[in-house]
Amino acid sequence: MTRTTFCMLSFNFKRITSLVWSSLKTASKQSYWGIAYSRHRLTTEWVMAELLKNPNIMRKMQLEVREVTGNKTKIDASDSNKMKYLKCVIKETLRLHPPFPFLAPREASASVKVGGYDIPPKTKVFINIWTIQRDPKSWERPGEFYPERFENNPIDYRGGDHQFLPFGSGRVCPGILFGIALVEYLIANVLCWFDWKLPVGTVEESLDMN
């Protein structure tokens, strides 16, 4: 019978640990990219839907994208930094159509009163982003797609301004920068090289955005 020495056990433990960490890193990467891709794919669809419903905004955005691109045959990732209106359009899309209508639930650690409501300890609290981002107390013309509201506006995606929370606040989604860059790149390309319109016989007012 083969005897197992301490050195063999130590070697096997290190090998198993290495394999476990490798598997965990692979799973984390797949989860990270998968979530970022799926959520921002939906955002891209919402951007295009809003632009089709608002052709004047689409034309203004195309003018900016094509002006920045010039005679180049492809758009570089760095070009999107010069497309200020593009960023406003994406922010406005995320305001009206956040990837998650609710944040992950929080549990009250003590009795507290919020907005006139008594919340006892251990109560699960859901934060409704969809409603917050359409609150007329915080937003002018809240139900309207109006990207210009973000021009010269310091509000960003990190959740410091609690009226705009498409990715939450505090420990926010780690894929924000990747996801936003991906959406900017995709939208800039499809608007630069193609003209878009609704099918013949379809009017903007009939496009259901619910």
Is 7 among the annotated ligand-binding positions?
no
| Domain layout of the chain by residue ranges | 33-101+151-205
Q: CA–CA separation, 103 vs 125, rounded Å?
A: 9
* Tokens of residue 41, six digits: 């794919």
Mean confidence (pLDDT) of the chain: 80
Residue 194 to residue 54: CA distance in whole angstroms: 16
For the purposes of burial, counting CB atoms within 10 Å of the CB of 129, is it exposed (0-12), middle (13-18) or buried (19 or more)? Answer: buried
**Radius of gyration (C-alpha) of the chain in whole angstroms:** 23
What is the C-alpha separation between 27 and 119, in angstroms, rounded? 38
pLDDT 10s digits, 60-79: 999 999 999 988 888 887 88
Tell which residue, 121, 124, 99, 101, has the closest CA to residue 111: 121
> Which residue type occupies 167?
F
DSSP per residue over 3-72, as a string? PPPHHHHHHHHHHHHHHHHHHHHHHHHHHHHHHHHHHHHHHHHHHHHHHHH-HHHHHHHHHHHHHHHTT-
| pLDDT at site 2 | 52
pLDDT above 70: percentage of residues in the chain:
78
Please write the tens of the pLDDT for every residue from 122-155.
Answer: 998 888 999 999 999 999 999 999 999 999 888 8
